[in-house]
């Protein structure tokens, strides 16, 4: 009997297409009469273009046009607000708008040629004279210039008095370096000029509708004349939430030349715009002798650009986990001559929880208390910050299951006491928390002429398993096998979807799928009952069900009528409905919504060389119902690998004298290789949430990355007795 796929570890439905190369990405579509664009980037960090000479480039054989701020077409942004939906406050970057340079690597020209290699070479022939101006790009030397933000939680109690009087207190400063997105797929756009101002655009994006709105607004086009497709996305995790500059340049060239155009960015061209902001943090936590936290202070200073204020939620997390009567939080932004930072997996939370959980670890040691026991003493079933119950919270189960699996209670608590040959062994643990969001989403459900179910929605799949999970949800709702469901996605012409970001897609689009299929079932019943001599006329709704392409009698699974018969009675026409899924705003106002996790880590550190190796890690996650344990586990495993990278590898080196990133390539921007990854285990807590949404689901994209960097850092302390508060931690810090 069909309808039992939710909860099963089903393989990715698009997996074969991806591993065989059949899946096409934004820069791979075979398009006739295609031109290629290559971007010229600024070589200074701040200033103005005094002159830009494109004569040699234009004269080179095969070059069609070179666009600069001096000859670009007029654009709708001159009169209209053109921000994309995800833009922060401020004035968004306008490529080729004028001669002003705002950051190193800013796009200043586009060379369009008959082939890629010609465009790339001709770009070197563009001669630019600059008027450089003084700039500031280093966060650490500009902390005093940071301005207060209003997103910090309001203070409670009297922090300074309580902290001063507390018998046990810890203060520390933390810094994490700049990290850059490096998805496997380069940012690329292929624009097909359909004539009469109509465009079909294949783009690397997490939000087709956002890019559709952006292009229409910038170029003064009708929204329905712009179609954005992204059926396959080779990784993104925040870097594709906003339209990137290759989209603008590609569309500009296609409209002006009335030709099909493709623009693909090199790896180094992606570095200027695609980063997690470096952040300085200071914490002061205190507790009484029984281990109860009495006061918490968290200050964060983050980088932003001079033209937009990109604010992440950094200082709000500690009070959502741990009760404290006295709190003081402050968040500041330092505007620098850099591109606006972008969301990167678990934005704000992975930054914050490193500082929070390392401070908690230090406080536990000062209390001579097991770090896990210390957290359990300060455990709260409710959200202390809002004084509201969580829709569900199984963090304690995460602690218990992960600690038992890891063997936490076997550790010798004394730092430096555990050894294996020439290796120092360290155990560390930490807690994770992330919002469980849901956004409105609209889905069209169709029972087609063959009796199969079609689902249409504009969401994307950046490799998280969305295609598979949505198919499972739809199949179960109509009692079908997954192979009888066709899920159409990654297309802006489909009904509205919010971005694939914030771990919200399954809750948002998944709930909309449920609502649409429920409405479709009601339509099918109505049409079936209208058929003469229908047995369904005498049956109530609760006496029947849907299974294997039939409406059946619940008591004995006897088929009453098939979907094909209903279609035949409908004169062979498909039956469809479009419905909105949305959060239950009024009901959810009474609750706090979050996913939780616990991470336990073992590190080995070479006594002489100080090299650090994560040998074991266990992450337990409480995220409501898990639709597909296999794809969900893969997401958590990927997050754990990225956590190792964040804690020990990833760092973009900025030369503050040049205002440039010095390692914009995968040779010098270090990420883990296979030999760096060892025994990683994922546990899902049994968490039933009957409040949060119709599916009882929460996202798993971010939560797996939030606890582990701190757990790794705490394990390094346990192994060595040294606290290193700057990420990433390289071996030289332990010398």
DSSP-assigned states of every residue in 169-229: EEEEEEEE--EE---SSPPEEEEEEEETTEEEEEE--S-HHHHHHHHHHHHT--GGGEEEE
CA angle 206, 208, 211 (to 5 degrees): 100
Structure tokens at 116: 């890629």
By the 8 A CB rule, do 266 and 666 touch?
no
Cα separation of 403 and 298, whole Å?
Answer: 28
In this prediction, residue 77 has a pLDDT band, given cuts at 50, 70 and 90, of: confident
Q: How far is CA 659 from CA 134, 269, 272, 340, 403, in A?
A: 10, 15, 11, 15, 45
Give pLDDT, residue 2: 63
Cα separation of 724 and 477, whole Å?
Answer: 51
Give pLDDT, residue 571: 95
Q: How far is CA 245 from CA 55, 565, 647, in A?
A: 24, 52, 30
Q: Evaluate if residue 1 carries a pLDDT over 60.
A: no
Residues in the chain: 735
Cα separation of 561 and 551, whole Å?
Answer: 5
Cα separation of 106 and 68, whole Å?
Answer: 12
Taking Cα atoms as reference points, which of 406, 159, 115 lies closest to residue 284?
A: 159
By the 8 A CB rule, do 460 and 207 touch?
yes
Structure tokens at 298: 């968290």
Give pLDDT, residue 91: 92
Residues β-bridged to residue 597: 432, 621
Q: Evaluate if residue 78 carries a pLDDT over 90.
A: no
Using only C-alpha atoms, the chain has a radius of gyration, in whole angstroms, of 28
Question: Which residue intervals of 585-658 are DSSP H helices?
Answer: 585-588, 629-648
Cα separation of 120 and 100, whole Å?
Answer: 24
Cα separation of 72 and 52, whole Å?
Answer: 13
Cα separation of 159 and 296, whole Å?
Answer: 7
Cα separation of 353 and 375, whole Å?
Answer: 14
Cα separation of 289 and 386, whole Å?
Answer: 26
Give pLDDT, residue 79: 60
Cα separation of 568 and 560, whole Å?
Answer: 15
Taking Cα atoms as reference points, which of 195, 186, 188, 187 lies closest to residue 260?
A: 195
Q: How far is CA 236 from CA 109, 181, 230, 241, 650, in A?
A: 25, 8, 12, 8, 16
Q: What is the mean pLDDT of residues 279-293?
A: 98
Share of the chain above pLDDT 90, in %: 96
Cα separation of 74 and 679, whole Å?
Answer: 57
Structure tokens at 559: 């088929």
Cα separation of 539 and 405, whole Å?
Answer: 51
Q: What is the mean pLDDT of residues 262-274?
A: 94
Give pLDDT, residue 83: 77
146-175 per-position pLDDT tens digit = 999 988 999 999 999 999 999 999 999 999
By the 8 A CB rule, do 332 and 300 touch?
yes
Taking Cα atoms as reference points, which of 232, 227, 125 lies closest to residue 188?
A: 232
Residue 368 DSSP SS3: coil
Domains in the chain (CATH in brackets) are: 15-20+439-582 (3.30.365.10), 31-134+184-236+240-270 (3.90.1170.50), 279-437+589-734 (3.30.365.10)
Residue 354 has phi, psi (to 5 degrees) of -60, -50
Q: Is the dihedral of CA 359, 365, 370, 374 positive or negative?
A: negative
Give pLDDT, residue 76: 76
398-414 per-position pLDDT tens digit = 999 999 999 999 999 99
Q: What is the mean pLDDT of residues 222-226?
A: 96
In this prediction, residue 74 has a pLDDT band, given cuts at 50, 70 and 90, of: confident
Give pLDDT, residue 81: 63
Residue 485 has phi, psi (to 5 degrees) of -120, 135
Give pLDDT, residue 3: 67
Give pLDDT, residue 75: 84
- Identify the H or E element spanning 420: strand 419-420
672-697 per-position pLDDT tens digit = 999 999 999 999 999 999 999 999 99
Q: What is the mean pLDDT of residues 332-339?
A: 98
Cα separation of 248 and 260, whole Å?
Answer: 14
In this prediction, residue 4 has a pLDDT band, given cuts at 50, 70 and 90, of: confident
Q: Phi/psi class of residue 243: alpha, beta or left (left: φ > 0; alpha: ψ in -120 to 50)?
A: beta
Identify the weakest region by mean pLDDT among 7-16, 28-37, 531-540: 531-540
Q: Evaluate if residue 274 carries a pLDDT over 70.
A: yes
- Identify the H or E element spanning 717: helix 708-720
Q: What is the DSSP letter of 503?
A: T
């Amino acid at each position: 009997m069909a309808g039992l796929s939710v909860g099963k570890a089903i393989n990715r439905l698009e997996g074969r297409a991806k591993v065989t190369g059949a899946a096409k990405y934004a820069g791979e579509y075979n398009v006739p009469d295609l031109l290629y664009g290559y971007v010229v980037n600024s070589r200074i960090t701040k200033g103005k273009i005094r002159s830009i000479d494109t004569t040699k480039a234009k004269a080179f054989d095969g070059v069609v046009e070179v666009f600069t701020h001096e000859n670009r077409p007029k654009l709708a942004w001159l009169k209209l607000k053109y921000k994309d939906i995800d833009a922060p406050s401020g004035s968004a970057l306008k490529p080729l708008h004028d001669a002003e340079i705002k950051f190193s690597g800013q796009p200043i020209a586009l060379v369009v040629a008959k082939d890629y290699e010609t465009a790339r070479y001709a770009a070197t022939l563009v001669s630019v004279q600059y008027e450089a101006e003084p700039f500031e790009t280093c966060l650490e030397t500009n902390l005093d210039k940071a301005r207060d933000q209003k997103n910090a939680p309001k203070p409670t109690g009297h922090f300074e008095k309580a902290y001063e009087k507390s018998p046990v207190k810890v203060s520390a400063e933390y810094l994490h370096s700049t990290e850059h997105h490096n998805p496997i797929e380069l940012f690329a756009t292929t624009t097909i000029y359909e004539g009469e101002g109509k465009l079909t655009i294949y783009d690397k994006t997490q939000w087709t509708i956002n890019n559709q709105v952006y292009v229409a607004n910038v170029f003064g086009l009708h929204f329905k004349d712009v179609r954005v497709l992204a059926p396959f996305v080779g990784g993104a995790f925040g870097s594709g939430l906003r339209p990137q500059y290759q989209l603008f340049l590609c569309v500009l060239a296609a409209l002006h030349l009335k030709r099909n155009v493709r623009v693909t960015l090199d790896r180094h061209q992606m570095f200027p715009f695609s980063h997690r902001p470096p952040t300085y943090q200071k914490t002061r936590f205190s507790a009484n002798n029984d281990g109860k936290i009495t006061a918490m202070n968290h200050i964060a200073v983050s980088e932003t650009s001079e033209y937009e204020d990109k604010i992440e939620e950094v200082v709000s997390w500690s009070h959502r986990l741990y009760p404290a009567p006295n709190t003081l939080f402050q968040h500041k932004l330092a505007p620098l001559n850099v591109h606006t930072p972008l969301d990167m997996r678990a934005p704000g939370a992975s930054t914050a929880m490193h500082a929070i959980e390392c401070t908690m670890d230090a406080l536990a040691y000062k209390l001579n208390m097991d770090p896990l026991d210390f957290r359990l003493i300060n455990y709260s079933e409710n959200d202390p910050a809002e004084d509201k119950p969580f829709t569900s919270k199984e963090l304690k189960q995460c602690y218990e299951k992960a600690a038992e699996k890891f063997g936490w209670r076997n550790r010798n608590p004394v730092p430096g006491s555990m050894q294996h040959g020439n290796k120092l062994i360290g155990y560390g643990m930490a807690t994770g928390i992330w919002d469980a969001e849901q956004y409105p989403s609209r889905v069209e459900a169709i029972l087609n002429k063959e009796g199969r179910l079609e689902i249409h929605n504009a969401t994307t799949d950046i490799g998280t398993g969305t295609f598979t999970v949505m198919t499972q949800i739809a199949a179960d709702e109509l009692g079908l096998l997954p192979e009888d469901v066709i899920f159409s996605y990654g297309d802006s012409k489909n009904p509205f979807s919010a971005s694939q970001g914030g771990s919200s897609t399954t809750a948002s689009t998944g709930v909309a799928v449920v609502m649409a299929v429920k409405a479709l079932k009601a339509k099918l019943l109505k049409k079936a009952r209208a058929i003469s001599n229908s047995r369904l006329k005498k049956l109530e709704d609760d006496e029947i069900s849907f299974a294997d392409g039939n409406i059946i009698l619940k008591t004995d699974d006897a088929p009453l009528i098939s979907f094909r018969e209903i279609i035949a009675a409908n004169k062979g026409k498909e039956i469809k409905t479009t419905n909105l899924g949305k959060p239950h705003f009024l009901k959810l106002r009474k609750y706090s919504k979050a996913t939780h996790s616990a991470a336990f880590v073992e590190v080995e550190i070479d006594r002489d060389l100080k090299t650090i190796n994560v040998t074991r890690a266990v992450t337990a996650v409480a995220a409501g119902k898990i639709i597909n344990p296999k794809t969900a586990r893969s997401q958590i495993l990927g997050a754990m690998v990225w956590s190792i990278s964040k804690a020990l590898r990833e760092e973009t080196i900025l030369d503050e004298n040049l205002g440039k990133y010095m390692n914009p390539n995968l040779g010098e921007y270090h990420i883990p290789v296979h030999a760096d990854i060892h025994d990683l285990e994922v546990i899902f807590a049994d968490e039933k949430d009957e409040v949060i949404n119709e599916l009882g689901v929460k996202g798993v994209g971010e939560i797996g990355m939030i606890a582990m960097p701190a757990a790794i850092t705490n394990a390094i302390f346990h192994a060595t007795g040294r606290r290193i508060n700057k990420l990433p931690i390289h071996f030289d810090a332990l010398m």
